[in-house]
Amino acid sequence: MWRSTAQLQLWNDTFYHKIEAERGLEVSTKVAEGHRFGIDNVKKVCDEEGIDCGFKYVDGHLYPKDEESSSYDLLEQELQASNRAGLSDVKWVDLGGGQDVGGIRRAVQFPRCANFDPIRYCEGLAKAISKRGGAVYETSRVKKAEGQTVTTEAGQSIQTPVIVFATHSPTHKNLAVHARQFPEKLYAVALQIPKGGMADGQFWDTEAPYHSVRFVEGTSKGDCLLVRGNNHTTGIKPEEIDADTYEKLAQWARSRWPKAGEVAFEWSGQLYAPIDRLALYGQDPFNAFHLDGTYYIATGDAGQGTIGGQIAGKVISQQILGQEGPWSEMFAPARLPPPSKDILSALGHVISDTTAGYVDIASPAGAQMQNADGLAKDSGAIIQQGDAPKIAVYVDEDGVQHKHSAICPHMGCVVQWSPIDRSFNCPCHGAGFDRFGKIVQGPATSDLEPVK
């Protein structure tokens, strides 16, 4: 959540018309209901708990990537499907093409989306939990969950009748989950912008991957335009990563919002895209050790996990309480994906990423060089000498080499170096490690093994 641009979107970015085509109107209607619920529930919680997180209803706008008639046709299709899904106030608008709206004229408007500050929201939630007798522990990494016992890195254990893996990607090895989604890196840039330089609201284009833009008021560096985009598959080889990605994102934003100025902040993060458009919320599927339904997962939100957190919370809490809510079935992690062309292609994507991660164990192509002597300071690579196992090496600012096994402790794929966020990332299921091999992103739960 702390890496999010935190737009609570009424638009589902896997497209309502595609969900309807693949699963029917009943499902697209329930997905739309979930988005409406998610937005309004954040507001309700803020009001009830007195959380000041800058929550503000704003309109969201889906606009064409170019002036081709096919781009407008796509928007028309999405508008019609949104209306059929019960979002009757979604409509065409003319934004006038001014600089403050990124030069956008005709767009499909999704009223009453919302922007908020997710950190302040989570702090408020933590207080609300404590107030009711609950406890929140930070910096307590869970190392393993076995039966009804959860054990942390530091060796403490907790007995619990129910475990919810709300760890972005579940920290277990259940391929019935990991093969249903693929990890993607995505990037965000905040550009300073003077008052009036940008209209308040949300703006999404129809590029693939799409740009998503919002305004944020009063950061430590003033008002900013937040733009996110340039997604790519996690764990690709360093030479395939665009080293100028932040600059290109900033330039793109300035080309549409000319008053956007200096870059105030830039960061990357990860999303988990489900192969069949819908997130996975509910009982951990086909887990031979937990057919009794004591393990739950919330994952596969793609780029919409701030809404997804609200929906997952509702679905999973209802299931724990033995209630069958309206959204359980469509988000059930054990569901069968419909056999559409897009879904088969997404499944192919998962298989090829995973295969690449394992092929790299044996193939010389998994390494960039034979030793780290030629590596510039403050950079990393995967090296391999002869038949020896591959090593993830980082050379620090003083020229000291830090070496770790390149084998991901989750399920054994070879990690790859990212020169942008100076980290090692696993192509198989997205585990991430900082330049010193320390785990920063699951599903792995331990660091890369140090090598002498």
Ligand X SMILES: Cc1cc2nc3c(=O)[nH]c(=O)nc-3n(C[C@H](O)[C@H](O)[C@H](O)COP(=O)(O)OP(=O)(O)OC[C@H]3O[C@@H](n4cnc5c(N)ncnc54)[C@H](O)[C@@H]3O)c2cc1C
C-beta of residue 61 within 8 angstroms of C-beta of residue 93: yes
Residue 317: count other Cβ atoms within 10 Å of its Cβ: 13
- Cβ at position 188, least distance to ligand FES in Å: 23
- Cβ at position 8, least distance to ligand X in Å: 6
Per CB under 6 A, the segment of 57-65, 85-93, 395-403, 411-419 that binds ligand FES is 411-419
- Of the candidates 17, 23, 429, 435, which one interacts with ligand FES according to CB under 6 A? 429
Per CB under 6 A, the segment of 77-85, 208-216, 270-278, 427-435 that binds ligand FES is 427-435
- Cβ at position 408, least distance to ligand FES in Å: 3
Within the chain, what is the greatest distance between any pair of CA atoms? 64
Orientation angle between helical segments 16-23 and 341-362, nearest 10 degrees: 100
Residue 35, Ramachandran bin (φ over 0: left; ψ between -120 and 50: alpha; else beta): alpha
Whole-angstrom distance, CA of residue 315 vs CA of residue 329: 10
Backbone Cα Rg of the chain:
22
- 369-397 as b/e: b if 16+ CB within 10 A: eeebeebeeebbbbbbeeeeebbbbbbee
392 in contact with ligand FES (CB under 6 A)? no
Contact set with ligand X (CB under 6 A): 1, 3-7, 141-142, 166-168, 171, 186, 188, 212, 228, 269-271, 298, 301, 303-309, 442, 445
- Of the candidates 250, 408, 420, 439, which one interacts with ligand FES according to CB under 6 A? 408
Whole-angstrom distance, CA of residue 34 vs CA of residue 70: 29
- Length in residues, the chain: 452
428 in contact with ligand FES (CB under 6 A)? yes
413 in contact with ligand FES (CB under 6 A)? yes
Selection from ligand X, ligand FES, none that 431 binds (CB < 5 to 8 A by kind) is: ligand FES
Selection from ligand X, ligand FES, none that 408 binds (CB < 5 to 8 A by kind) is: ligand FES
Residue closer to ligand X (CB basis): 280 or 407:
280
Residue closer to ligand X (CB basis): 384 or 445:
445
- Cβ at position 153, least distance to ligand X in Å: 8
- Cβ at position 186, least distance to ligand X in Å: 5
- 36-55 as b/e: b if 16+ CB within 10 A: ebbbebbbebbeeeebebbb
- 136-159 as b/e: b if 16+ CB within 10 A: eeeeeebeebeeeebebeeeeeee
Residue 244: count other Cβ atoms within 10 Å of its Cβ: 11
411 in contact with ligand FES (CB under 6 A)? yes
- Sign of torsion, CA 120 121 126 130? positive
Selection from ligand X, ligand FES, none that 382 binds (CB < 5 to 8 A by kind) is: none
Per CB under 6 A, the segment of 103-111, 191-199, 313-321, 424-432 that binds ligand FES is 424-432
Residue closer to ligand FES (CB basis): 311 or 444:
444
Residues that bind ligand FES (CB under 6 A): 408, 410-413, 426, 428-431, 443-444
